[in-house]
């Protein structure tokens, strides 16, 4: 049992922190948000240089050879600076599908492009009726010659507007809510039959509403008749990364709040000298530390072989992180008072990111139900 | 002890309800049902309809142009507006500045301002908060120096709600910097078109433009615009703030939100069934309904007590209403966002007049609900933060 | 709308407060608890003198003619002094069954005895499997000649050990959890076929485990084939009274806590000067005031004719009162610190009574589920 | 970063588990499963079995009679005891007084006391708290005056846990009343049979006898029973209190309670099905399971950090462990009571040796659970109340 980083991991952490420290001041971030993409191509190319875009791929295929701990390290920095680039979509989710679902040929083609920053990926999964159920898929994929033709509508496709390829879940067989019969397809985002309407989300990131009308898949990821286990695995890896992001964001906004409490004067003294607010800050710290612990558990469990155990672990992670993020986010705003309600102040942006982070792939309430229906973490005896 | 409304009160409620059903424009209602604020024009139109009916200022005495209602009638009227939902009479005019003029103003001031307030010919805004003052309102620094028959004002106000719509502002200024904190403050009325006033928007976290900074740079305000005595403006301020007896509970508004929530949670599917059938979600909704029922009874207790009180001191129960009222409203906004799921997250200023779901990135019922949730975090901060309310309860009521 | 008491109601309140002020000091209460009955016969006879035992009965039959408001007034004082006498069992529940379910003949016989304090009643309803479901009844009543013979086992029969008559729910037809086929029977507590094992409950009151083996009913209350609506009505009236009891107890323990906070010194100053504790006390006050409001709603709703609306109202009452009682009870102990953990200090006794009060006829969790399953208080629109 | 236990550690866990399975008397286990404290004799017997195996004092160094374990082993060992459940090594001996003697005691004191502590030949108790001192421990008033080769002690201690079983007491006394609060305090060892000592039970709200008042009336304690220097007893106290690094988390104990809770909630019917199938109840249980998993990871982080720390300062994470650990334990006790329903309410001292459900007024699995709930409210009060923990975090760690 050892929570220390290896020398290599420490270097990774330092280099990401240094890059974002230079490139992700609040004003810089605002500039990226206002740009056409909604994020920075320059930062993206520096990600590529640092190896962050090849992070999860083997060194033999041009990657960094990182595992869940390395992902956690990067994700935490991303949360600390609430960055806007499509790293989670392209590298964690997209990379996950390539690693676990792509043919060798496809990997050979795409991994170098992803690692170099040329290829952006986005996950088109949510549908209007699906809410957080990964298996609730109405979009269809029909065999047509050697290929597949896809029809349907996907919503909240994170970074779907700038993506080069979309990773689309579509039903090849069965009823809408059947667990079998789901396939995962790679679709050219600019190809025929794909219409995208990009928009900004409340946390300042980008997403798209995507209509697929006879779009042809350029590749199949995994088993087109039974792709749900693949989706589950990739989403679980993403949940572990999201946990890191949330911890980074909570730490940053908590630090910001403590600093503010030390300087902001009310009734002739710093507000941090009021005991009721001190206790609130202490409770936020408890929530943060419990979440940090849980982010380690998430990294540990991302590699768990038994999918039932892995899903349970990630459900627990979502519950802890989501509850903590809600509390820390809301209270950071409350302790700041009015100033945190303005768009010109960073705290509110952390609060918004933490709110969306909680709900990505299902919020704490969703997972507490899931976990309780599957017997929880402790067996009766 | 009789805990029911009288037959007259029940008939009055029906009268209000009928009036709203007949007069409230559908567009105004729909916009508000969607969780967005009514537009300026919608507020003005509605205020004028109320004024035509003699209902523009529920709390004002008859001689000032009010309807002469009992507290119960006022409560019923406001509750019906909230749950319609319809715009409430403009608070700056009707509940803030108006009552101060009625209590402290000259006959001349009453004649000049009150009728235009009732008809919303003038939109007022409030110049109290200043940067740095926060919960410590009396720490204000904006200076007014008497020069001949004018005051010359320099300084800055902040969190000035809807100043961009305003024709007039009422403000607290420091007229005697040597005096102790609460002394040396005066209450002035100022035309927003006076040279030297600059309004700068503050955009709130969800992207809305609701509040502003207002800068005063050698602004000349006629001395006749002083309300009450010079250096006694804190009396006006205390009166104004203490006037807020049960308005912050907003029971009708929360009831309307819960109704809406139930509709949305019936539309929104979760685990293959309407979200409203999920036991955990349903439990959360029920818990707010229960809190709201208790709050409604608390409001009625306050009203019943108020009708018999002689003094004008604030009731400690006011803090209960503020704390619970805002907690319930915030919880409603959170559950509405949750009900909408990922489709709540499309960015867009919910108060934009044009709406912004035109590219159809979310179902209309879901659009903008996260924005409302973010925006409503202000409720536990403003109007005396909920922490300040707890201080008040501990000190003024429990004697700690 | 008027929350003031009438002159007569104020007199009632004053006289109960005066009696209990004299007779229910903490040491006196301890004495009653240690006595054979576990409560005071002397206080009981003074209840009779004040008319408290005839409270809900018409003046024409020797009662006080009180309604839900009068019951609330007395219950609040009972909570304030956490008294031990069987008033709730005999007068509120027993009286309720007599008023709504007894024949004129039976009323003529029993009401005067109840009002004079000679006749004690107890409600034998809970069974080992029933938890809080009033309709879950395994005990059977079988017709035998003109009478009924009862077999079964009842638990947590409050004041069942000192009762003269037991009011027993028993099944005359149908399956264990059917809503129809439940009868309510009056049984001689000392008669053949009745075995009682009395015990003290955690809140210092008394209860009994009762075995019924061929016990003969001395009377039937209401319709023996469909007695559940009667049971519901009486229990709802009792819930309204329990709300008053809880408010009285919360007020008393809150007062006690505030007093303690003003005098108890720590780190050289009264603990009531610590803001974190002040805010806790303020939150307790919010909980108390919301509960007081709800106790009025309970009194209003006790007379509601529509049983569905009445049940919903009482469910809401249980939820609000139960949640508040838990918070106020736990925090009273916490703010006192160690001293409230001792049996020699009153605060802990209030905490225990509030805990049991919450769970009588179902706790807040039970009723929040009930209420949410029946659509809540606000209709969708 | 490697977050798993090593193969050696996993083997060690199995060894401990096997030992417990073989040696723990069924009666002891059953009593503890029912939520009751083990009897004095059960504790003594078990401690002696552990001692025979060399496991009586997991944290002691080898030379003092400890097993020389790593922090991870100690954690595993304690967790296995808790979740068996089996009695832990007696805290007063092994985690409180023993370490103080090891750190500050003379060779003579070590020889005299440590072996008897390990074997529970002497049962120790702690004389720290005093009436009126509460969270402000250093405010203690018990006086010790040096007279020749004795100290003469007068005063009163309170909340003395299991003093009724104790052969010896270690206590803090004031030896220099003129010195500042934390100075002038000394740490003494005292035979409970010394004339002038009176033990008076304090009965806690659920009816149990666990704590006591201990009165000292001209009690003569040999000067050789002073540990460390005179007037430097606060060093010993701080060391003792700071020694508590992760013990208050009690992860294993809570895991055992959750297991038990699941069994009971499976037995207990609700709405015609096992309570464990009620979505709301199940959610509550799941929420503690999640908190407990996070806490377990937090404990492991503390252990991993501790192994590398050089200083002996308390880790701020200790407060997290105290707050969350006690909240979880209290919540377990509350859910157990809830699960039992009305049958939890039969009164009875859960620690009585004879048990008290003999008249069969409740199912055995339900009996006494309300008492445990009431009793466990103490957990957020003692050991530095959870409010004090928040003060510590705000000041020592956040710098507020």
Determine whether C164 is exposed, middle or buried from the number of CB atoms within 10 Å of its CB (0-12, 13-18, 19+).
middle
Mean pLDDT of C17-24: 98
Full set of structural domains in chain D with CATH: 7-89 (1.10.540.10), 124-233 (2.40.110.10), 245-397 (1.20.140.10)
Q: Is the pLDDT of residue B350 over 70?
A: no
pLDDT at residue D351, rounded to an integer: 45
pLDDT at residue B359, rounded to an integer: 76
Cis peptide preceding B54, ω within 30 of 0:
no
**Interface touch D286/A381, C-beta < 8 Å:** no
Residues of C in contact with D387 (CB under 8 A): 274, 276-277
pLDDT at residue D350, rounded to an integer: 43
pLDDT at residue D36, rounded to an integer: 87
pLDDT tens-place string over residues D255-296: 999 999 999 999 899 988 999 999 999 999 999 999 999 999
For B277, name the nearest residue in chain C, comparing CA atoms only.
C373
From D15, D244, D267, D327, the catalytic residue:
D244
CA-to-CA distance for D293 and B19, rounded, in angstroms?
Answer: 58
Residues of B in contact with C297 (CB under 8 A): 3, 293-294, 297
pLDDT at residue B68, rounded to an integer: 92
pLDDT at residue B351, rounded to an integer: 45
Q: What share of chain C is helix, strand, coil (3-state, %, to 5)?
A: 55, 15, 30
Q: Domain coordinates of chain C in residue numbers?
A: 7-118, 122-225, 229-373
**Interface touch A344/B203, C-beta < 8 Å:** yes
pTM over 0.90: yes
For B371, phi then psi, to 5°, come to -60, -45
**Interface touch D263/A381, C-beta < 8 Å:** yes
**Interface touch D294/A294, C-beta < 8 Å:** yes
**Interface touch C334/D347, C-beta < 8 Å:** no
B271 — contact with chain D (CB < 8 Å)?
no
Q: Which of A132, A330, A349 sits opposite B377 (nearest CB)?
A: A330
**Interface touch D377/C359, C-beta < 8 Å:** no
* C122-225 carries CATH number 2.40.110.10: yes
pLDDT at residue B171, rounded to an integer: 96
Chain A: partners with 3+ C-beta pairs within 8 Å: B, C, D
Mean pLDDT of B118-123: 98
Q: Is the pLDDT of residue B354 over 70?
A: no
Query: Which residues face D221 on adjacent strands?
Result: D151
Q: Which of C1, C258, C316 sits opposite B5 (nearest CB)?
A: C1
Contacts for D86 with CB less than 8 Å, ≥ 6 apart: D20, D24, D28, D29, D32, D46
Q: Would you tell me how many other CB atoms lie within 10 Å of the CB of residue A306?
A: 9
Q: Which tokens belong to B150?
A: 């004018």
Chain C: partners with 3+ C-beta pairs within 8 Å: A, B, D
Least confident of B356-365, C1-10, C138-147, D144-153: B356-365
Q: What's the mean pLDDT when you consider all of chain A?
A: 96
Mean pLDDT of A5-25: 96
Residues of D in contact with A279 (CB under 8 A): 387, 390-391, 394
Q: Which of B9, B290, B393 sits opposite C282 (nearest CB)?
A: B393
CA distance C110 to chain D (A): 29
Q: Which tokens belong to A92?
A: 């964690």
CA distance C162 to chain B (A): 35
Residues of C in contact with D344 (CB under 8 A): 202
**Interface touch D290/A373, C-beta < 8 Å:** no
* Percent of chain C's residues with pLDDT above 90: 96
pLDDT at residue D310, rounded to an integer: 66
pLDDT at residue B353, rounded to an integer: 46
Quickly state the pLDDT bin for B59 (edges 50, 70, 90). very high
**Interface touch B342/A344, C-beta < 8 Å:** no
* A7-118 carries CATH number 3.30.70.20: no
The residues on A that touch C, with CB distances below 8 Å, are 274-276, 278-279
Cα separation values, B127 from B186, B213, B214, D211, Å: 12, 9, 8, 61
Q: Is the pLDDT of residue A293 over 90?
A: yes
CA distance C60 to chain B (A): 23
What CATH number should be reported for the domain whose range is A229-373? 1.20.140.10
CA distance D126 to chain C (A): 16
pLDDT tens-place string over residues A158-182: 999 999 999 999 999 999 999 999 9
Q: Which of D129, D158, D363 sits opposite C128 (nearest CB)?
A: D363
D157 membership: H or E segment, kind and range: strand D150-157
CA distance B222 to chain A (A): 32
Per-residue 3-state assignment (H helix, E strand, C coil) for chain A: CECCCCHHHHHHHHHHHHHHHHHCCHHHHHHHHHCCCCCCHHHHHHHHHHCHHHCCCCHHHCCCCCCHHHHHHHHHHHHHCCCCCCHHHHHHHHHHHHHHHCCHHHHHHHHHHHHHCCCCEEEECCCCCCCCCCCCCCCEEEEECCEEEEEEEEEEEECCCCCCEEEEEEECCCCCCCCCCEEEEEEECCCCCEEEEEEEECCCCEEEEEEEEEEEEEEEECCCCCCHHHHHHHHHHHHHHHHHHHHHHHHHHHHHHHHHHHHCEECCEEHHHCHHHHHHHHHHHHHHHHHHHHHHHHHHHHCCCCHHHHHHHHHHHHHHHHHHHHHHHHHHHHHHHHHHHECCCHHHHHHHHHHHHHHCCCCHHHHHHHHHHCCCCCCCC
pLDDT at residue A381, rounded to an integer: 66
Mean pLDDT of D62-72: 92
B273 — contact with chain D (CB < 8 Å)?
no
pLDDT at residue D271, rounded to an integer: 87
> Interface pTM (ipTM) of the complex?
0.95
pLDDT at residue C4, rounded to an integer: 85
**Interface touch B291/C320, C-beta < 8 Å:** yes
Q: Would you tell me how many other CB atoms lie within 10 Å of the CB of residue B134?
A: 23
* Percent of chain A's residues with pLDDT above 70: 99
pLDDT at residue D234, rounded to an integer: 94
Per-range mean pLDDT, top range of A42-56, B120-134, C299-313, D351-365: A42-56
pLDDT tens-place string over residues D324-380: 999 999 999 999 999 999 999 988 644 444 446 767 888 888 988 999 999 999 999
pLDDT at residue C3, rounded to an integer: 80
Terminal Cα distance for chain B, rounded: 32
**Interface touch B390/A276, C-beta < 8 Å:** yes
pLDDT at residue A47, rounded to an integer: 98
CA distance B231 to chain D (A): 37
User: Chain D 235-264, CB below 8 Å of chain B: which residues?
Assistant: none
Which site among D342, D357, D371 would you substitute to test the C interface, given the most C Cβ atoms closer than 10 Å to its Cβ? D342
pLDDT tens-place string over residues C36-65: 999 999 999 999 999 999 999 999 998 999
**Interface touch D286/A9, C-beta < 8 Å:** no
**Interface touch B371/A202, C-beta < 8 Å:** yes
pLDDT at residue A166, rounded to an integer: 98
* Percent of chain D's residues with pLDDT above 90: 77
pLDDT tens-place string over residues C171-220: 999 999 999 999 999 999 999 999 999 999 999 999 999 999 999 999 99
For A281, name the nearest residue in chain C, comparing CA atoms only.
C276
B244 is catalytic: yes
The residues on C that touch B, with CB distances below 8 Å, are 1-6, 9, 69, 258, 261-262, 272-273, 275, 278-279, 281-283, 285-286, 289-294, 296-297, 299-300, 316, 319-320, 368-369, 371-373, 376-381
From B9, B183, B244, B289, the catalytic residue:
B244
Quickly state the pLDDT bin for D302 (edges 50, 70, 90). confident
Decide whether A122-225 matches A229-373 in CATH topology: no
**Interface touch B394/C281, C-beta < 8 Å:** yes
């Amino acid at each position: 049992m050892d929570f220390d980083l290896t020398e290599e991991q420490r270097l990774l952490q330092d280099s990401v922190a240094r890059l974002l420290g230079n490139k992700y001041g609040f004003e810089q971030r605002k500039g990226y948000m206002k740009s056409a993409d909604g994020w920075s191509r320059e930062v993206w190319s520096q990600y590529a240089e640092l190896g962050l875009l090849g992070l999860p791929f083997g060194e033999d295929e041009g990657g960094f050879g990182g595992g869940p701990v390395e992902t956690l390290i990067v994700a935490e920095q991303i949360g600390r600076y609430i960055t806007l680039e499509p790293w989670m979509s392209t590298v964690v989710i997209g990379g996950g599908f390539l690693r676990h679902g792509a043919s060798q040929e496809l990997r050979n083609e795409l991994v170098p492009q992803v690692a170099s920053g040329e290829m952006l990926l986005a996950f088109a999964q949510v549908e209007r009726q699906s809410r957080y159920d990964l298996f609730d898929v109405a979009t269809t994929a029909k065999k047509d010659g050697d290929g597949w033709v896809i029809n349907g509508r996907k919503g909240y496709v994170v970074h779907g507007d700038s993506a080069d390829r979309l990773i689309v879940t579509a039903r090849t067989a069965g009823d809408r809510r059947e667990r079998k019969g789901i396939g995962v397809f790679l679709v050219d985002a600019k190809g025929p039959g794909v219409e995208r309407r990009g928009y900004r989300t409340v946390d300042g990131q980008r997403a798209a509403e995507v209509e697929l009308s006879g779009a042809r898949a350029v590749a199949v990821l995994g088993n087109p008749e039974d792709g749900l286990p693949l989706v589950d695995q990739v989403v679980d890896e993403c949940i572990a990364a999201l946990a890191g992001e949330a911890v980074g964001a909570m730490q940053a906004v908590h630090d910001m709040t403590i600093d503010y409490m030390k300087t902001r004067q009310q009734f002739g003294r710093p507000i941090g000298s009021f005991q009721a607010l001190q206790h609130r800050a202490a409770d936020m710290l408890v929530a943060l530390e419990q979440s940090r612990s849980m982010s380690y558990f998430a990294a540990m469990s991302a590699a768990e072989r038994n999918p039932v155990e892995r899903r349970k672990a990630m459900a627990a992670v979502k519950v802890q992180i989501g509850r903590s993020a809600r509390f820390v986010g809301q209270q950071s705003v409350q302790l700041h008072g009015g100033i945190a309600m303005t768009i010109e102040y960073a705290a509110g942006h952390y609060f918004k990111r933490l709110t969306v982070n909680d709900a990505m792939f299902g919020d704490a309430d969703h997972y507490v139900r899931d976990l309780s229906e599957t017997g929880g973490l402790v067996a009766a005896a | 002890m009789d805990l029911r409304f009288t037959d007259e009160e029940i008939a009055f409620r029906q009268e209000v309800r009928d009036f709203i059903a007949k007069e409230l424009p559908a567009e105004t209602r729909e916009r508000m049902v969607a969780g967005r604020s009514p537009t300026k024009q919608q507020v003005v139109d509605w205020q004028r309809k109320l004024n035509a009916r003699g209902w523009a200022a529920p709390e004002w005495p008859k001689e000032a142009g009010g309807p002469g209602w009992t507290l119960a009638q006022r409560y019923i009227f406001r509750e019906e507006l909230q749950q319609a939902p319809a715009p409430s009479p403009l608070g700056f005019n009707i509940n803030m500045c108006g009552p101060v003029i009625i209590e402290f103003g000259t006959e001349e001031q009453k004649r000049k301002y009150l009728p235009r307030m009732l008809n919303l010919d003038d939109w007022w805004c409030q110049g109290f908060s200043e940067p740095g003052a926060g919960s410590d309102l009396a720490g204000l620094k904006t200076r007014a120096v008497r020069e001949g028959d004018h005051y010359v004002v320099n300084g800055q106000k902040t969190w000035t709600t809807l100043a961009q719509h305003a024709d007039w502002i009422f403000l607290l200024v420091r007229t005697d910097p040597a005096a102790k904190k609460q002394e040396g403050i005066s209450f002035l009325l100022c035309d927003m078109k006076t040279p030297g006033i600059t309004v700068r928007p503050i955009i709130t976290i969800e992207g809305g433009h609701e509040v502003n900074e207002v800068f005063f740079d050698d602004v000349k305000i006629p001395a006749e615009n002083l309300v009450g005595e010079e250096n006694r403006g804190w009396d006006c301020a205390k009166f104004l703030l203490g006037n807020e007896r049960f308005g912050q509970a907003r029971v009708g508004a929360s009831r309307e939100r819960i109704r809406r929530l139930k509709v949305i949670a019936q539309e929104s599917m979760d685990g293959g069934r309407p979200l409203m059938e999920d036991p955990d979600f349903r439990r959360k909704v029920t818990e707010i309904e229960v809190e709201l029922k208790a709050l409604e009874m608390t409001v009625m207790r306050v009203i019943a007590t108020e009708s018999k009180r002689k003094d004008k001191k604030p009731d400690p129960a006011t803090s209960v209403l503020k704390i619970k009222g805002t907690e319930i409203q915030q919880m409603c906004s959170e559950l509405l966002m949750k009900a909408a799921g990922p489709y709540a997250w499309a960015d867009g200023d919910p108060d934009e007049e044009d709406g912004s779901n035109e590219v159809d990135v979310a179902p209309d019922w879901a659009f903008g609900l996260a924005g409302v949730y973010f925006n409503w975090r202000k409720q536990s901060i403003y109007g005396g933060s909920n922490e300040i309310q707890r201080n008040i309860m501990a000190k003024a009521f429990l004697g700690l």
